[in-house]
Amino acid sequence: MNVLVINCGSSSLKYQLIDSDSEQVLAKGLCERIGLDGRLVYQKSGLDKEVTEAPMPTHKEAIQLVLDALTNKESGAIASLDEVDAVGHRIVHGGEQFTASALITEEMIKTVEECNELAPLHNPANLIGIRVCTELMPGVPQVGVFDTAFHQTMPAKAYLYGLPIDYYKNYKVRRYGFHGTSHSFVSKRAVEFLGLDKDNSKVIVCHLGNGSSISAVVNGKCVDTTMGLTPLEGLVMGTRSGNIDPAIVEYVAKKENLDIAGIMNVLNKKSGLQGLSGVSSDMRDLEAAADGGNENARNAVDVLCYQIAKFVGGYVAAMNGVDAIAFTAGIGENDLRVRKTVCSYLGYLGIAIDDEANARRGEDVVISTADSKVKVAVIPTNEELAICRDTVAIVSGK
């Protein structure tokens, strides 16, 4: 079955066409600057990237251009759209309504719309992608895969905030968690790859990228995660602050003469590694600057590693133990120094790192030594493949 995986952002769109039988990517790419000038990146498997400047005033033109590229006579991956058997959409927020991926129907769309308020930048864009695909590929089954669904197994003690309970009852203010597709994929793969008993396993997944979150997973079910009502909570991230004392909001608002929107802009876009370092939100730039003696960059990297170690320690307590820790996403997969530093805080758990294994890249790899009491692994995430697998399972009724 060929599955088109679509991840619609507010002004961009990533796509992959995957043959679900072989799990090979047939073509992939992205549309950028939707609503501005428009640029399509298309890459058929085994060939070079093609970049085309093309007007895309809305997501409709963008998706049409993707479909044209996929079926192009010379460089297309398929002969016609009849070869697209299903479409899988990433949807950011499924609220409490969605505990798993679901077939897209009109009723399902209405329920997703009810969650729009919780993710005003993302959910409406995801829904536009769904509507455009319905229009351009009528009759092709579509599936929604939610960032929040995997975390719906958290118990109340993990998802409730210390706020008046009516805020939860009336407005659904609670921890939801994000990156669920990645946490689900990586925790499952860690159990399989490390030979753990899936019904008796405690795994911590550290998804460390531009956005970062950590989850605690017992017997395949999420019991806690660092992101909250929104993806702003938890770890310090590329430009997001992560956890701060809530009273800072009022204090800084007064000092800087900012309103709520101004403060939220700072917390989302000007804080985190970027804000701390004044150099960059990108770990590669930060480490280069830190190596060159930039103290703010050094502090930014240290803050991140320290926070990761503290959350891991907290989740070991929450689960009363841990069998494995898995690192994933841009920083988790590539940054051996971050992994090494984080694990150096975890010696009390009997964790020891094999430096040679820690230097390997691009594959599932155990980076702890044979006698380490807890297994530590790098597991590259693959959210598109996870979306493809869920789409096939739902479409074929498995």
Interface residues with ligand AMP (CB under 6 A)? 209-210, 238, 282-284, 329-331, 334-335
Residues 378, 368: Cα–Cα separation, whole Å: 10
Give the nearest residue (CB) to ligand AMP. 330
CB of 282 to ligand AMP, least distance (A): 4
CB of 17 to ligand AMP, least distance (A): 21
Query: What is the side-by-side strand order in the sheet with 365-366?
Result: 221-225, 212-218, 202-208, 324-328, 375-378, 365-366
3-state secondary structure of 254: helix
Annotation says 355 is catalytic: no
The residue (of 84 and 290) whose beta carbon lies closer to ligand AMP is: 290
The residue (of 64 and 210) whose beta carbon lies closer to ligand AMP is: 210
The residue (of 67 and 283) whose beta carbon lies closer to ligand AMP is: 283
Rg (CA), the chain: 21
CB of 209 to ligand AMP, least distance (A): 3
Contact in structure between 330 and 286 (CB atoms under 8 Å): no
Catalytic residue, chosen from 147, 224, 335, 390, is 147
Q: Which residues pair with 311 in a beta bridge?
A: none
Query: Which DSSP symbol is given to 244?
Result: -
The residue (of 361 and 373) whose beta carbon lies closer to ligand AMP is: 361
Beta strands in the chain (DSSP E): 2-8, 13-19, 24-32, 39-44, 50-53, 86-91, 102-103, 142-146, 202-208, 212-218, 221-225, 324-328, 365-366, 375-378
The residue (of 59 and 207) whose beta carbon lies closer to ligand AMP is: 207
CB of 331 to ligand AMP, least distance (A): 4
Encode burial over 43-73: b for 16+ CB neighbours within 10 A, e otherwise: bbeeeeeeeeebebeebbbbbbbbbebbbee
Q: Which residues pair with 287 in a beta bridge?
A: none
* Active site (catalytic) residues: 147
